Chains A and B, each alone.
Chain A
Amino acid sequence: MAPITPFSASEISEKARRDLLLLLEGVRGKKNLVLEKALAGSVNLLVKSSTLQEYGVDKFFFLENDNVNSSQRNVVFLVRGEKAKTVMAVANQIKRLRRDSQIEHEFSIFWVPRRTLVSDQLLEEAGVLGEASVSEWPLFFVPLADDVLSLEVDDAVTDLYLRQDPTSIYLAARALMQQQQKHGLFPRIIGKGDNGKRLADLLIRMRTEVTAGESSNSASPSFLGLAPSSTVDSLIVIDRAVDFPTVLLTQLTYEGLIDEVFNISANQTEVDSSVVGGAAPQPGQTGSASTSMKRKILIDPKDSLYATLGDANFAVVGNLLNKAARRLQSSTGRDQLAAKTTAELRDFVAKLPGYQAEQASLKLHTSLAEEIIKFTHTDIFRRSLEVQQNIMSGLDPTTQHDTINELIDRDVPLSAILRLLCLESTSNAGMRPKDLEIFKRTVIQAYGSQHILTLSNLEKMDLLQPRGGSGLGATPAAKPGSVTNYTPLRKSLKIWDDDVNEAEPNDISYTFSGYAPLSVRIVQSIIQKHTLANAIKPPSDPRAAAQANPLAQGLRIFDDASKYVRGVTFDETQTGEEKAIKARSMLNGSHNDGAKTIVVFFLGGVTRAEIAALRFIGGKLKEVGGEGRGSRIVVCSTNIIRGGSLVDGAIETAQFTA
C-alpha cells in the first residue's frame, strides 16, 4: 500500500479544480464569469481557461472593473466573501445589471472560500439575496509547488498587522483543520509570535468543535481523524511579526529576484514581451519599451531547468544557465546525429520534444536573467543592497544614513526607501527618535504630504518605530518579547555568516549572501538542531561532532533564542486515544520511523527566499543518515510576500488634486 502523503499538492489542487467545475456545471448554459482580481491568479493556476470555456464560461470580467455586460443570461460571481466591500460590489453590480438589462438574468454567487453570514446579511439588505443562487467554493490552500501551499490571501499582511483583523488566522486554522481531519492531528504545534499562538489556540478549539459537530454524518473517519497523525511530525507556526527584516531585505535567489523585479503573483509574472521575446532591448530604451505588450509567464516549479535555477543564489545562475546550454547543445548537437543506428536515432527523435521544451525554457530564463542583471547593476540597487548588508551584518546603522539620504535625494521609488528605513528600525529594535523624526520629515518633503498617513501606518505595523517602545513616555529599555533583538541573535543563532558560499551552499545564509533568515533559523532550531548547533559552535574535535554538542540537547537553542524574539512562544502537544492511534498507524502501514511531514506555517506571508532556504534544509534532512530521517518539509502560508508588498500595503496612494 502506498503511504498516504499528507498535504499533497496534487490532491489539494485536484479537489479544488473539481469543486469549481462542479459548481460551474450547476449553472446551465453559457455564462459570464465575474472574478475578483485577487482570485484570477489562483483560478488560472488551477483550471485552464480553455477548460472553463468547455464548462460554458463565455467571457471573463473583473469585479473591480464593474463592467460585466448582459451578453449572457447567466452571470456567475466568483469572489471572496470576507470583506463587506466586495460583497457590496457584488450587490451593486447585480442591481445595475437588473436595472439596465433587457433580459432577465440568472445570478449565481460562488463565495470563496465560504459563504459568510455577513454576505447573506448585506445581500439581503441590498435586496438581491433572493435573486441569486449562492454557493461556496471551499478554496483554502492553493498549491504553488509540491511543497508550497498558500492561502493566497493577498491582504493578509495589512489585515493582520495594520488593521488587526484576524480573518486570515481563522482561514488558516480552517485550512489546517481540513488537513487534520484527513490526516490526523498534528502531534505537536510549536511556534513563535502572538498571532501564531492565536492560530494554535484556534486549532485546539476547533478540534473540540469538530468532535462535537460533524461526527453525526460519518462516525468512523472522524474518530480516526482526530487522533494524532502518524504521517505528520509537527506544525511549526511562525508569525511574520517575529521577523520583518527578512522580508524587507532584497532576496538574492533567482526566484526571489524575479519576484523583486517583475512581481510574481500566483506563480505568474508579467514580463515585457521585448524582454522575453528574445530580442534584447537597446540600452537606454527600456523606458519606452515599458509601454509595449506584457507577456504572462508561468513560473513553473515542474520545469526541470527552473527547478535547478529557482532556489540558487543569483550569482551562480549565469553559470548554471551556461552549463545547461552546453549540455543541451551536446545532446542535440550534430555529433549525436551522426553515425547512429536507427534504433538510437528513434530514441533521439523521441526525446526531441523534451529538448525543445528545455530549449524554450533556457531561452526564457536567459533573457530573464539578463534583465535582472541589468537591474542589479544599477547604482541604486547596489547602494541599497550595500546598506542592507551593512545593517544586517551588525554595523552601526547611523553610518548608513548618508547613503539613505542620498537615495532619497535621487528620488528612488518610495517603497525602496521605506524598506531600508523599516529594516533599520526592525533590526535594531527601533530608530533613535531624533533620526526617525528627521527621516520622516525628509520622506514627507520628498514624496508628499500624503505620506504622513503612510508613516503612521508603518508605525502601527511596528515596522517603523522610535527606539524604546512606541513613544508615550516609555522607558528606554523595551519590554522583553515586544521587539526582536538581533544583536544577541547574531551570535546565538548565527544570523550573519561571513564565509557564505553561494555556489556550493553549505548553509541557508546563501539565500541572502550572508544573512541567514531568522525565521528559518528558528525552524532549524527545532528540526535540525545538530547541524545548527555545530554551525553556531563548531566542535573542537570534528569527529565527535554529531552526538556531543551540548547545544543540540532538547530545545536549548530554540528556548535560548526565543527570549530575544518578539511575541509569545508556544509548544502544544495533541494526543488522542491510544486505541485510535494504533488503528491509524495500522491503517497507514508501519512506516512510523521515516518520511514524516513537517509543516511550517508562516502567518502573514513567506518570501521566496525563505522557501528556498527551507528547501535547502529539507534537502539536508532527506539525506541518508541525516538527523531528519528523511522528513519532508511543506511550507504553508497565508500568501507569498516580498519587501515591496509589505510596505506597499502601508503606502497611501491618494494625493492632493487641484
Chain B
Amino acid sequence: MSKPTASWEKLGDKFYRKIQLYTAVFDQDLELENYNVVGAPYSGAVAIYRDENKITTYRGGQVSKASIDIYSCAGKLIRRINWDKGTIKGLGWSEDEKLLVVTSDGTVRCYYDLQGDFMPFTLGHGADEHGVQSCKFYGSGFVALLGNNNLISVSSYTEPRPKLLAIPPTEPVVSWSIIPPAYSLSRSVEVILAIGETLYVVDATEAENRNFDAGPFRHISVSPRGEFLAFYTDDGKVWVVSGDWSDKLSEYDSKVKTVPKDMQWCGSNAVALAWEDEVHLIGPNGAVTKFYYDAWIHLLPDVDGLRLLTNDVCEYLQKVPDASVEVFRIGSDSPAANLLEASSLLDQKSPKADDLIQLIRPSLAEAVDTCIRAAANEYNIHWQKQLLRAASFGKSVLDLYSSDDFVDTCDTLRVLNAVRFYEVGLPISYEQYRRLTPEKLVDRLTNRNEYLLALRVAAYLHLPTSHIHGHWAQQKVRVSTETEEQICALIVKKLHGKPGISFEEIARAAYDEGRVRLATELLNYEPRAGKQVPLLLDMKEDNIALDKAIESGDTDLVYHVLLHLRKKLPLASFFRVINSRPVASALVESSASDQDHELLKDLYYQDDRRLDGSNLLLSQALASPSVASAIDKLKSASTYLRDSRDAAATFQRQALDDAQKLLRLQEQFEKDLGPRDGVTSPAPPTAAASSSFVGLSAHHTVSALLRQGHTKRAQKVQSEFKIPEKTFAWLRLRALVAERHWTELEELAKAKKSPIGWEPYFNEVLGAGNTRVASVFIPKCTGLSVAERVEMWMKCGLVVRAGEEASKAKDRALLEEVAAKASGSAKVEVERLLGMMGKR
C-alpha cells in the first residue's frame, strides 16, 4: 500500500492532497472543453451542457440535440433533460440538489428532483427586455445579472420572490461574484461587480464604489465561508482581501500573460487558477504549487476543497486535515504517529509495540482521538482500517475512554464508503457529510432512486424511513406497468400504518400520471383531511372534498372549498351542495353577511327563511342613505313576511310597520320643526351626535319633542305607539329636567296623581341640582316613611323642614339626629322643636 503522503503537495508550510476519486469518468468522445460544467454542493451531481459559443465538431448524420446532462461524479448518467427552450444563461445547483436553469428571457426552471420534474418562475423586473447575462448561485438562492447591469436576487426556491437589488452603474461588467447572505456582514446577499478599473459592492439598498483602482479585475472569487475575497487583475496578479475589505492579505504575481479561464477557492486557504490543462494552487504569502493535466480541466468548488474534473479523472483537491498531517507527516513523532506505528508493530507481533505505547502513554488519549479523526478524513479504506485499528489498540490500553466518537466514526465511514462506491458516485468528504447532515444524504440517495441503499443507510443510522417509502411509492405509481389494483395493493401492503407516510403525495403522483382511480383509492388511506382536500379539488371530487374539509373541523379548508365551488358552480347547484351541510351553509352565511348581500338574499329565499330574509332587508334599510329608500326597504321587508303566519313573523311585521310609521312621523316633524337644533342630549350613545329626529327611537322622539315643548306632538306619538303612561311620565320628567324647565315641573307637582309616584321627580330634580323645586315634591311622597322624608328634606338643605317633619311624626330620636346635623339659625329652630316635643 502506498503511503498516504504520496499524493501530498507542500504549499508554503501546509500540505495539500489530491485524491483520485474516480477514473474513466466521461466518454472520450465528449469534448468536455466545449461544455459548461457545474457541480452540486457537497459532492453532488454534475450538470453539463454544451456551450453555444464554441464550435462543434460536425459529425455526419448524427444530429446533436441540445440537452442538459446530469451525471454523478463517477460519470454515471443520471438524467438527460432535452433542452429546446432558449439560450441557457445560468445553470446552478442549490444546497438540496435542485438544478436551476435560467434562460436569457428571465425564465427560471427549478428541477426539484433529479428526475426531470420542474417548477418554473420568471424573474420579472425587466429581465425579458434586457436579457439575463449570467447568474451566480449559492446554497439557497442566486443572483442574475441583466443586460442593463440590473441585479435580481432570488433567495428561496419554495416561494421565489425575485427582488431587484440597488442599481449599479451601466458600464460593462468585467467579472462578478456574490457573497451568500449567510456569510455577508449585512446578512443579505451582496454582489461584487468589477466595472472598469474598480469594484462595486451592491446589496438591496445601495451600490457602493470600493475605489479599488488596480483593475480591471478579470476574476473575482469568494471563499466558501465568505472570509476572503480573491481578485485576478489584468496584469496577472492575484490579490486576496479579507471579507470585510479591511485587510489586503496577500498578492501573488502569476507572471502569466494569458488570463486563466477560471479562478476558484480551494477550501478557505488557497486559490486555484485554472488554464486549459494546468492548475496553479496559490497559498498564503505567494506560495504556489502547480499541477499539469493532459486534458481540459474543470474546477468544481466545494466547502472544504475543490473537485477537478477531466474526461479521465475526477479528483478532489483539499488541504490535508490537521489530524492526518499529525499522523502521516514524514518524520512525525506525534503520539498519534507513534500509536499507528505501534499498532502495525503489534500486527507483526513485535515487542516494540509495547515500548512505543509506554513512550506515549501520557498523551495516549489524545493520540487515539487524532487517529479517529484522521480515519474519518481518510478516503482510502486500507488506511481507514489501519487508523481505526490503531485507535482501538490505544483505547484498549487506556483505563477510561469514551468510545462514542470511535463508534460514530465507524458508522459514518461505513456509510461514506458505501455512497462513495462508483455506482452511487457521491464522493462526499467527512466534513461535507457533517454539514449536509445524514438526513439530507438519505434524501440524495432517494432522489437517485437508490431506495435499497437509502433504506439501509437510514436503518443503520436510525433515521426515519417514511420519506424513502413515500418516494418509492410515487415512483412506483409513475412507472409501474402493473394493474392499478396490484399497485395499490402493493403500496398499501408495504406502507399502511407506517407513521409519516403521506398517501396524499403518492395519490397526487398517481393523479398527475393520469391514474385517477388509483389516486382516489390511495387517497382513502390518507388520514389528514388538510392533505386530502386540495387533491380532491384538483380531481374534481368537490362534494367529497367539502365533506372531508368539514370533517377536519378546519374552517379554513371549508372556506377554501366553498370559494372554489362558488366560482365553479351555478348558484342553484351551489346552494344544493351546501344545504345538506349545516356547517358549510353557516360559513357561507357568515362570510356573505360581510360582503355579499345578494348571495345571502338568494340563500334565504331558496331556503325559505323568511325571517332572516326580512332581517337582511332591514339591515339594508339601515344602510340606505335616505328616509324614502329606507321606508321602501322596510316595506319590502314587511311584505317578505306576508305569507307567514307564525307568531314570530307577525310580530316582526308589526315591528317593521311601526318602524315605517315612526320614520314618516319623524320626517314630518323635521319638516315642521326643522332639525332639533341645540339639543345636547344625554340620550343613549346610539343616538348621539345626530341632530335629526330620524333615527331616534319612539321614546327618544317623544323625549326630544317634549324638550322642545311640543307636548301635543309628543302626545300624538304616545298614542300612535301606545306608549304606557308610566313611560310617558318618565320621559316627560327627564326631558323637563334636562332642559331645566323648572316652572313646568312645579306645574306638574300640582297634579293629584302621578303614574310613577313622586319620588322619581324628587330624585331627578335633585340630581340636576335644583333643591328648591325638588323640595316641592317631598310632601307628595306620602308612600314613604317619615325617616326617608326627613332625609329628603335634609338633602335639600332644608333642616328646619326636616325637623318639622320629624316633630310632626313625634319621632324624638329622628329629631335629635337632625339637630345634631343642624347648624346656625336652623339649629336654634330645631332645638326649639325638640324642646317643644320634650314638654309634651
B-binding residues in A (CB < 8 A): 28-29, 82-85, 88, 114, 116-118, 121, 130, 133-134, 159, 163-167, 169-170, 173, 198, 201-202, 205, 208-209, 211-217, 219, 284, 287, 379, 405-406, 408-411, 413-414, 433, 437, 440-442, 444-450, 452-453, 456, 471-473, 652-658
A51 to chain B, nearest CB (A): 20
Q: Does B466 contact A (CB under 8 A)?
A: yes
Q: A405 and B615 in contact (CB under 8 A), knowing A411-B699, A656-B694?
A: no
Residue contact B646 to A215, C-beta cutoff 8 Å: no
Q: Does B813 contact A (CB under 8 A)?
A: no
CB-defined contacts of A411 to chain B, threshold 8 Å: 683-684, 699, 734
Mask for B719-760, Cβ within 8 A of A = 1, else 0? 001010011001100100000000000000000000010000
CA of A217 to CA of B684 in the docked complex: distance in angstroms?
59
Q: Does B7 contact A (CB under 8 A)?
A: no
CA of A149 to CA of B683 in the docked complex: distance in angstroms?
39
CB-defined contacts of B464 to chain A, threshold 8 Å: 215-217, 219
Question: A interface, by DSSP: helix, strand, loop or mixed?
Answer: helix
- Which residues of B762-785 have CB atoms within 8 Å of chain A's CB atoms? 763, 769
CA of A492 to CA of B217 in the docked complex: distance in angstroms?
91
Name the CB-closest residue of B to A456.
Answer: B615
CA of A212 to CA of B466 in the docked complex: distance in angstroms?
10
Name the CB-closest residue of A to B164.
Answer: A104
Which one of A85, A117, A208, A433 lies within 8 Å of B560 (CB-CB)?
Answer: A117
A352 to chain B, nearest CB (A): 45
CA of A284 to CA of B766 in the docked complex: distance in angstroms?
12
Residue contact B553 to A409, C-beta cutoff 8 Å: no
Query: Which 10 interchain pairs have the tightest Cβ spacing?
Result: A449-B659, A216-B500, A164-B586, A448-B697, A409-B730, A163-B590, A654-B622, A117-B560, A658-B694, A116-B556
B805 to chain A, nearest CB (A): 23
Mask for B645-680, Cβ within 8 A of A = 1, else 0? 011100110011011001100000010000000000
Residue contact A212 to B559, C-beta cutoff 8 Å: no
CB-defined contacts of A437 to chain B, threshold 8 Å: 647, 651
Residue contact A656 to B630, C-beta cutoff 8 Å: yes
By the criterion of a CB under 8 Å from any partner CB, how many residues of chain B are at the interface?
A: 91
* Cβ contacts A to B, 28 pairs, < 8 Å: A118-B559, A121-B563, A159-B590, A163-B590, A164-B586, A164-B590, A170-B556, A173-B553, A205-B551, A205-B553, A211-B527, A212-B500, A216-B500, A217-B464, A406-B726, A408-B727, A413-B684, A441-B655, A445-B698, A446-B697, A448-B697, A452-B618, A452-B652, A471-B647, A472-B646, A652-B622, A657-B694, A658-B627
CA of A216 to CA of B615 in the docked complex: distance in angstroms?
52
Residue contact B560 to A118, C-beta cutoff 8 Å: yes
Residue contact A452 to B528, C-beta cutoff 8 Å: no
Residue contact A84 to B591, C-beta cutoff 8 Å: yes
CB-defined contacts of A202 to chain B, threshold 8 Å: 553
Which of A165, A173, A449, A657 has the most C-beta atoms of chain B within 10 angstroms of its own C-beta? A449
Residue contact B500 to A444, C-beta cutoff 8 Å: no
Q: A117 and B556 in contact (CB under 8 A), knowing A216-B467, A219-B464, A413-B684?
A: yes
Residue contact B646 to A471, C-beta cutoff 8 Å: yes
Name the CB-closest residue of B to A413.
Answer: B684
Q: Does B483 contact A (CB under 8 A)?
A: no
Which one of B204, B625, B685 lies within 8 Å of A657 (CB-CB)?
Answer: B625
CA of A502 to CA of B658 in the docked complex: distance in angstroms?
48
Q: Does B438 contact A (CB under 8 A)?
A: no
Name the CB-closest residue of B to A212.
Answer: B527
Residue contact B500 to A28, C-beta cutoff 8 Å: no
Residue contact A166 to B188, C-beta cutoff 8 Å: no
CB-defined contacts of A166 to chain B, threshold 8 Å: 553, 555, 583
Which one of A198, A212, A405, A657 lies within 8 Å of B695 (CB-CB)?
Answer: A657
Q: A130 and B161 in contact (CB under 8 A), knowing A202-B553, A205-B553?
A: yes
Mask for B536-561, Cβ within 8 A of A = 1, else 0? 00000000000000011111110110
Residue contact A212 to B528, C-beta cutoff 8 Å: yes
Q: A449 and B662 in contact (CB under 8 A), knowing A117-B556, A117-B557, A215-B464?
A: yes
A140 to chain B, nearest CB (A): 14
Q: A473 and B500 in contact (CB under 8 A), knowing A84-B594, A205-B553, A409-B726?
A: no
Q: Does B262 contact A (CB under 8 A)?
A: no
CB-defined contacts of B553 to chain A, threshold 8 Å: 166, 169-170, 173, 198, 201-202, 205
CA of A658 to CA of B631 in the docked complex: distance in angstroms?
11
Name the CB-closest residue of A to B203.
Answer: A28
A-binding residues in B (CB < 8 A): 159, 161, 186-188, 204-205, 462-464, 466-467, 499-502, 526-531, 534, 551-557, 559-560, 563, 582-583, 586-587, 589-591, 593-595, 611, 615, 618-619, 621-623, 625-627, 630, 646-648, 651-652, 655-656, 658-659, 662-663, 670, 682-687, 690, 692, 694-700, 721, 723, 726-727, 730-731, 734, 756, 763, 769
Residue contact B560 to A121, C-beta cutoff 8 Å: yes
Residue contact B618 to A446, C-beta cutoff 8 Å: no
CB-defined contacts of B618 to chain A, threshold 8 Å: 449-450, 452-453
CA of A452 to CA of B655 in the docked complex: distance in angstroms?
7
Name the CB-closest residue of B to A213.
Answer: B528
Residue contact A656 to B695, C-beta cutoff 8 Å: yes
CA of A204 to CA of B384 in the docked complex: distance in angstroms?
52
Name the CB-closest residue of B to A165.
Answer: B590
CA of A448 to CA of B618 in the docked complex: distance in angstroms?
13
CB-defined contacts of A133 to chain B, threshold 8 Å: 159, 161
Residue contact B699 to A445, C-beta cutoff 8 Å: yes
Residue contact B697 to A447, C-beta cutoff 8 Å: yes
B503 to chain A, nearest CB (A): 9
CB-defined contacts of B726 to chain A, threshold 8 Å: 405-406, 409
Residue contact A444 to B655, C-beta cutoff 8 Å: yes
CB-defined contacts of B756 to chain A, threshold 8 Å: 406, 409
A570 to chain B, nearest CB (A): 15
CA of A208 to CA of B626 in the docked complex: distance in angstroms?
57
B760 to chain A, nearest CB (A): 8
Residue contact A456 to B611, C-beta cutoff 8 Å: yes
CB-defined contacts of B551 to chain A, threshold 8 Å: 205
CA of A199 to CA of B528 in the docked complex: distance in angstroms?
17
Which one of B557, B685, B692, B698 lies within 8 Å of A446 (CB-CB)?
Answer: B698
Residue contact B656 to A215, C-beta cutoff 8 Å: no
CA of A433 to CA of B648 in the docked complex: distance in angstroms?
10
Residue contact B698 to A84, C-beta cutoff 8 Å: no
Residue contact A414 to B583, C-beta cutoff 8 Å: no
CA of A409 to CA of B663 in the docked complex: distance in angstroms?
21
B564 to chain A, nearest CB (A): 8
Q: A84-B591, A473-B646 are in contact. List 7 more A-B contacts (CB 8 A).
A: A117-B557, A448-B687, A471-B646, A654-B623, A655-B622, A656-B694, A657-B625
Residue contact B626 to A652, C-beta cutoff 8 Å: no
CB-defined contacts of A214 to chain B, threshold 8 Å: 500
CB-defined contacts of B530 to chain A, threshold 8 Å: 209
Residue contact A656 to B621, C-beta cutoff 8 Å: yes
Q: A209 and B527 in contact (CB under 8 A), knowing A216-B500, A447-B684?
A: yes
Q: A84 and B499 in contact (CB under 8 A), knowing A118-B556, A133-B161, A411-B699?
A: no
CB-defined contacts of B627 to chain A, threshold 8 Å: 656, 658
Residue contact B721 to A409, C-beta cutoff 8 Å: no
CB-defined contacts of B685 to chain A, threshold 8 Å: 413
Which one of A472, A473, A655 lies within 8 Å of B687 (CB-CB)?
Answer: A655
CB-defined contacts of A205 to chain B, threshold 8 Å: 551-553
A631 to chain B, nearest CB (A): 29
A455 to chain B, nearest CB (A): 9
Residue contact A167 to B648, C-beta cutoff 8 Å: no
CA of A133 to CA of B683 in the docked complex: distance in angstroms?
48
Residue contact A409 to B727, C-beta cutoff 8 Å: yes
CA of A442 to CA of B723 in the docked complex: distance in angstroms?
9
Which one of B556, B586, B619 lies within 8 Å of A82 (CB-CB)?
Answer: B556
Q: A449 and B658 in contact (CB under 8 A), knowing A656-B630, A658-B670?
A: yes
CB-defined contacts of B658 to chain A, threshold 8 Å: 444-445, 449
Name the CB-closest residue of A to B582.
Answer: A164
CA of A166 to CA of B559 in the docked complex: distance in angstroms?
12
CA of A442 to CA of B728 in the docked complex: distance in angstroms?
12
